[in-house]
A and B are shown apart, each in its own frame.
Chain A
Amino acid sequence: MDSKAPILRVEAVSKAFGSVQAVDSVSLQVESGEVFGLLGPNGAGKSTLLRMLLDIYRPDLGSIELFGHRLSRRDLDSIGYLPETRGLYLRRSVIQVLCYLGELKGLSKTEAIESADYWLEALGMTASRDSKIKTLSKGNQQKIQLISTLLARPRLLIWDEPFSGLDPLNVVLLRDLIGRLKSGGISMILSTHLMAQAQALCDRVGLLHAGRLVRHGSVAQLRGELGVNVVQVQTDAALAHGELWPMIAEVQASAPIGTGKERLYTVHLTDGADPNALLQALAERSARVSLLRPVKPSLEEIFLHAVQP
């Protein structure tokens, strides 16, 4: 396999359940060693797409290539998967559960135990090795689930909402772990609602909405594409969407600043509108302008912009 070839290539994949089109002609690829963010609201088709990557569901149309060849069951041993809806055998001990999951990934029992012990120590969970799962906190259960994805030396990690349920300390721990795994050459797909986390961790993202991939690319690229049309303005004029301000598509205003009438506005300009047009309109109204600067939108804003009709 060419080392520069994408580790995952999805071509025009579709999946329907009855009359519901869960995934509609999605194409994307994940490069070797990168962290790819799959973003989208509930029902966008993220889980269905991920399940197709794991051969849990079979696509109705399209193809999936993993590690340079058509997806096969044997490839699953090289994928660590953390689903969004996840659990463990509550009445079994930590080491029993990890051993079983490791064996299912093709490890021998001895290898599974050795690997489990390694990762338990790495994530500070050695003391819970023989505890029953049900005695662990939700956050610690989640760490065991994360460990289960790492047991068999995965080349690709697919983590669906990995931060949910974690306290701030463990969020930091997980972010650090992701960084170290990435530097170890492991490719990752992070599916999350937390745009800020995705923005901080992902090299590239894909925005999924109603089964379709509405945007994809590097975070910087997406922010650059949309950023020209958002500005922050601090002024005493009352900005609003309407006939008086035809260049404004949407505006959010802060509370009055200090004792004056000035407010800080985040203005989404209409497509093709120039920030200078807004400045000119303000000048024509003899408005006081303390600040006007372009804003690079967050992933959340990019997403909202992409899905709005």
Chain B
Amino acid sequence: MQFNPEPQTDTQQRRVLVVARHEFWSTVSRVGYIVTLIGMPIGLVLLTALPALSLALSGGPQSLTGLKDPDEITVIGLVDQASPAAASPKSIEWHNQDQQRAADEHSRGSKAPVKLDPASWLDSRDRGGFQPAARVEIRLYPNEAAATQAVRTGEADAAWIFASDYWQDPAVAILIGRLSHTKWRVHPGHRAITRLVRTSIANRTALEQSHQQRLVKVLEAEYQVVGIEGEPEAEENKSQDSFTALLMPLAFGSFFALIIFVSSGYLLDSIGEEKETRILEILLASVTPEDLLLGKMLGLGAAGLLQTLLMALLGLGPLIILGSLTLGLGQLLSMFLCAALGYAMYASLMGATGAIASNRIEGRQTSAAWSITASLPFFLFPVFIAEGKQLAAVVLSLFPLTAPVAMILRLGVGTVPAWQLTFSLAAMTATAWLAWRFGSRVFRIAILMTGARPQLRTIWAWIRSG
């Protein structure tokens, strides 16, 4: 009386994958998961869209980028001391004429395609994204003092400064008066200047390609924003700037941090359920506690990632439409890496915590300390504004337990020095490894424990004993 299947030549990895697949499908097929999957994006869309709608109703979508009323012109100053000029006078003249022409056509309500001078060095794409509310006129100023004066008096909203040695030693400064620099990346003025100068760079074929790339990088991303000395930031724009500065990092930080919290929550529930149903010991007769924990982390991480990605796709839509999305691929990848490492770290810790707890409720209560620690940067979000230059933001993004969310927020706000990002990722990697190693030791011993919760001293003894 026996069925005689031959067990396959097995590997540890295969077992981990069997657990991961089981956990993934068990989770994604639950009603709660599906309801959350559908319900949360709707909530996020509403959450994102309502403030934007409110602003649009009060001042139009241009209020998000600090632009003026539709009939007004945004004047951008340009001090071009480079030789040859960073942006040729002819191209500036053409730009201003083209903006005027487009505005005229808009006011007439013309839907006909815009006819451009075929001899022009610009094609239709370079008019790119003209909006009535984003009409930009570029004015040349002879020197920085004149541009400063123009910005101070309000004649120009901002001024781009190209020094005489720009072609040799690329550096771009944006002189601002009323507006925070965080919006310049999406401001039509920045787009206009960038468009003109990029063409000049492309025309200078004698330059080495690497130097051309450097020029473009400085122009688009590594410019310096300089305020007018003693000039206070205009109050009426501060709220708009804050909104933009807050919305983007918060939205992206939330999406990536959600992976940590959602997946860790699933892990905690999974362990709690298996402790409650008492199936764990049956599982442990086939798979090591370490492999079981790893399989759960992979499967539930994938379930959390899927949920977060779908939510992000819907949630990010309005942000993209509103023009707030300026993150590069590098930043997005770094954010994802932070989220993955953060998840590995907190999943290990929560796995151990869930193993110590006797049921799901107790597990959630016990693990609240981890959730609070992980989300601490959200509570301290104000320190991240102004591109994370504050010391507290730097410290939070380098301390491993707060680094995942903190670094995601900093990446969302602006550029992070390479050494800080490297250090933070290294610290997170090391801590994730330690959390996995020690967490799985606690998991191994505590997973079948019942009765009173062990004291910290006992847990420490488990960790040390291995």
- A contact residues vs B (CB 8 Å cutoff): 18, 51, 54-57, 73-74, 76-79, 81-83, 85-90, 92, 100-101, 103-108, 111-112, 114-115, 118-119, 122, 145, 148, 150-153, 180-181, 184, 186
Give the interface size bracket for B toward A. Answer: 35 or more
Known contacts A104-B18, A107-B5, A153-B3; A79 and B278 CB within 8 A of each other: no
Given contacts A83-B281, A83-B282, A100-B18, 5 further A-B contacts (CB under 8 A): A85-B281, A100-B22, A101-B282, A111-B6, A153-B7
A86 contacts across to B, CB distance below 8 A: 278-279, 281-282
Instruction: Identify the 7 closest CB pairs spanning chains A and B, nearest first.
Output: A106-B7, A87-B278, A81-B285, A87-B277, A104-B286, A83-B281, A111-B5
Known contacts A114-B3, A115-B5; A77 and B279 CB within 8 A of each other: no
B288 contacts across to A, CB distance below 8 A: 55, 73
Residue of A nearest to B22 (CB): A100
- The answer to whether B116 has its CB under 8 Å from any CB of chain A is no
Residue from A56, A88, A107 with most neighbouring chain B CB atoms (10 Å): A56
Known contacts A87-B279, A105-B7; A122 and B1 CB within 8 A of each other: yes
- Chain B nearest CB from A95 CB (Å) reads 14
- The answer to whether B54 has its CB under 8 Å from any CB of chain A is no
- The answer to whether B287 has its CB under 8 Å from any CB of chain A is yes
Which of B3, B10, B15 is within 8 Å of A118, CB to CB? Answer: B3
Residue from B8, B288, B450 with most neighbouring chain A CB atoms (10 Å): B8
Known contacts A89-B277, A115-B3, A115-B5; A106 and B10 CB within 8 A of each other: yes
Residue of A nearest to B291 (CB): A73
- The answer to whether B186 has its CB under 8 Å from any CB of chain A is no
**Interface pair B286/A101, CB less than 8 Å apart:** yes
- Chain A nearest CB from B145 CB (Å) reads 74
- B contact residues vs A (CB 8 Å cutoff): 1-8, 10, 12, 15, 18-19, 22, 26, 273, 276-279, 281-289, 444-445, 448, 450, 458, 461
A79 contacts across to B, CB distance below 8 A: 285
**Interface pair A54/B284, CB less than 8 Å apart:** yes
Known contacts A115-B3, A122-B1, A153-B4; A76 and B277 CB within 8 A of each other: no
B461 contacts across to A, CB distance below 8 A: 18
- Chain B nearest CB from A190 CB (Å) reads 16
**Interface pair B5/A76, CB less than 8 Å apart:** no
B15 contacts across to A, CB distance below 8 A: 104
Residue from B4, B22, B282 with most neighbouring chain A CB atoms (10 Å): B282
B289 contacts across to A, CB distance below 8 A: 56
- Chain B nearest CB from A155 CB (Å) reads 11
Cross-chain pairs A/B with CB under 8 angstroms, 25 sampled: A54-B284, A54-B285, A55-B288, A56-B289, A56-B444, A77-B286, A81-B285, A82-B282, A86-B281, A87-B276, A87-B277, A87-B278, A88-B279, A89-B273, A100-B22, A101-B282, A101-B286, A106-B8, A107-B5, A111-B6, A114-B5, A115-B5, A145-B282, A150-B3, A186-B2
Complex CA gap A56/B284 in Å reads 6
**Interface pair A77/B10, CB less than 8 Å apart:** yes
Complex CA gap A100/B282 in Å reads 11
B283 contacts across to A, CB distance below 8 A: 101, 104
Which of B6, B19, B282 is within 8 Å of A81, CB to CB? Answer: B282
B281 contacts across to A, CB distance below 8 A: 51, 56, 81, 83, 85-86
**Interface pair A56/B282, CB less than 8 Å apart:** no
A89 contacts across to B, CB distance below 8 A: 26, 273, 277, 279
- Chain A nearest CB from B224 CB (Å) reads 59
**Interface pair B284/A153, CB less than 8 Å apart:** no
Complex CA gap A181/B3 in Å reads 11
- Chain A nearest CB from B99 CB (Å) reads 63
**Interface pair B18/A103, CB less than 8 Å apart:** yes
Which of A104, A115, A184 is within 8 Å of B1, CB to CB? Answer: A184
A114 contacts across to B, CB distance below 8 A: 3, 5
Complex CA gap A73/B415 in Å reads 49
B18 contacts across to A, CB distance below 8 A: 100, 103-104
Residue of B nearest to A54 (CB): B285
- Chain A nearest CB from B355 CB (Å) reads 13
Which of A88, A152, A184 is within 8 Å of B5, CB to CB? Answer: A152
B12 contacts across to A, CB distance below 8 A: 73
- Chain B nearest CB from A22 CB (Å) reads 12
**Interface pair A88/B3, CB less than 8 Å apart:** no
Complex CA gap A180/B2 in Å reads 9
Residue of B nearest to A103 (CB): B18
Complex CA gap A88/B283 in Å reads 10
B5 contacts across to A, CB distance below 8 A: 107, 111-112, 114-115, 151-153
A186 contacts across to B, CB distance below 8 A: 2
Complex CA gap A87/B281 in Å reads 9
Complex CA gap A89/B461 in Å reads 32
**Interface pair B10/A88, CB less than 8 Å apart:** no
Residue of A nearest to B17 (CB): A103
Which of A74, A77, A88, A105 is within 8 Å of B277, CB to CB? Answer: A88
Complex CA gap A41/B421 in Å reads 58
Complex CA gap A106/B450 in Å reads 29
Complex CA gap A162/B425 in Å reads 51
B3 contacts across to A, CB distance below 8 A: 114-115, 118-119, 150-151, 153
Complex CA gap A274/B87 in Å reads 120
Complex CA gap A186/B450 in Å reads 32
**Interface pair A77/B7, CB less than 8 Å apart:** yes
- Chain B nearest CB from A47 CB (Å) reads 8
Which of A83, A90, A92, A122 is within 8 Å of B285, CB to CB? Answer: A83
Complex CA gap A170/B19 in Å reads 32
